[in-house]
Amino acid sequence: MNNFNLTVFDVEHGNSIVLKLPNANDDRFLFDIGNRADFSPALHLARNYGSNIRWLVITHPDTDHISDVEYVSKYLSVNTLSSHDEITTEFLYEYHVDGIPEIVQKYIEYKKRFNLPAPPIEDPSYDWGGVQFAQFWNTTKDFSDINNLSICTFAMFQGWCVLLPGDLEEAGWKKHLESEAFREMLKRTDIYVASHHGRENGYCADVFNYCTPHLVIISDKGVSETSCTDKYAAHTYGLKVSNLGTMRKVLTTRYDGAINLNIDAEGKYVLKTFSTS
């Protein structure tokens, strides 16, 4: 069995996360495809690890979560793309009442490549090397804004559980909390990637009635006036960051750079930060 390896790239006010699975193929998953002006995660992956991406999850097609779509299209070979079924092309044109952004239009065109149905990511027929997934999403019956329609993914391996919630806001969290299955997954969560870049409107105090993670990770740019880092820190135990030699309750891309978590077959972890260029 190989290692579970998760990297949260520094893409400022955006989101781009790669997960290398511990299966025989060393499959890689991407969760969102944000970038920054001087760094493309897609190009970085292609140059260092090859072009193959087994699965791409778009939590929701806000511009900062799909800004690297041109480089993804050019440099990566994605096998499967999954996104919210109800966020259709028609939905996006209606949502962007002042005109659809160019990057969203490019995403719409890119998504047309993926027209064959596939079993959901958590289907037991897949060999993910011992990693299990659970996904949840709200529906357009309850929400019309794409943040609260974000796909929320739990990834589990060797007793660890990582939560990747996109840009859920408080109302979206509270709707999910009506689900017993969702609440049970929160109880298992060890690594909590803060929704909506750690901002106040992505924080929901009720979530932490069920969830006491070891670490919160925030993906955000250098200047943030609305981050609630201290609130998240109050709910966490902390983990040792190997290259820093300290215990941390919250890591942020704006101060710490890219963040990498490696978990081996025995459940032992190494957590580190590094710069990308």
Q: Inform me whether the pLDDT recorded for 24 exceeds 80.
A: yes
What average pLDDT does range 118-142 have in this prediction?
Answer: 96
Q: How many CB atoms lie within 10 A of CB 158?
A: 17
Give residue 56's pLDDT: 98
The string of pLDDT tens digits covering residues 30-64 is: 999 999 999 999 999 999 999 999 999 999 999 99
Model pLDDT, residue 117: 87
Given a contact cutoff of 8 angstroms between Cβ atoms, the answer to whether 145 and 173 are in contact is no
**pLDDT interval class at 223 (50, 70, 90):** low
**pLDDT over 90 (residue 19):** yes
Picking from 45-49, 88-92, 112-116, 219-223, which range would have the lowest pLDDT averaged per residue?
A: 219-223
For residue 213, the model assigns a pLDDT of 98
State how far the Cα of 27 lies from the Cα of 19, in Å rounded to an integer: 8
Interval 228-254 mean pLDDT = 96
Per-residue pLDDT, 116: 87
Average pLDDT over residues 259-272: 97
pLDDT at 224: 57
Residue ranges covered by each domain of the chain: 4-274
Closest C-alpha among 210, 206, 198, 204 to residue 255: 198
Which pLDDT score, from 0 to 100, does residue 1 have?
Answer: 65
Instruction: Find residue 157's DSSP bridge partners.
Output: 160
Dig out the tokens for 144 from the structure.
């019309």
CA 262 from centre of chain: 16
Average pLDDT over residues 57-75: 97
Q: Which CATH architecture has domain 4-274?
A: 4-Layer Sandwich (3.60)
Average pLDDT, stretch 134-160?
98
- What is the pLDDT, as a whole number, of residue 237? 96
Coarse DSSP helix, strand, coil percentages of the chain, rounded to the nearest 5 percent = 30, 25, 45
User: Which of 174-178, 204-208, 226-230 is predicted least confidently?
Assistant: 226-230
Supply the pLDDT for residue 276.
Answer: 84
pLDDT in tens, 121-131: 999 999 999 99
Mean pLDDT within 195-203: 92
- Name the percent of the chain lying above pLDDT 90: 92
Which long-range contacts link 97-106 to residues 24+ away (Cβ below 8 Å)? 101/63, 103/63, 103/66, 103/67, 103/69, 104/61, 104/63, 104/66, 106/69, 106/70, 106/73
Work out the percent of the chain whose per-residue pLDDT is above 70. Answer: 97
- Average pLDDT for the chain: 95
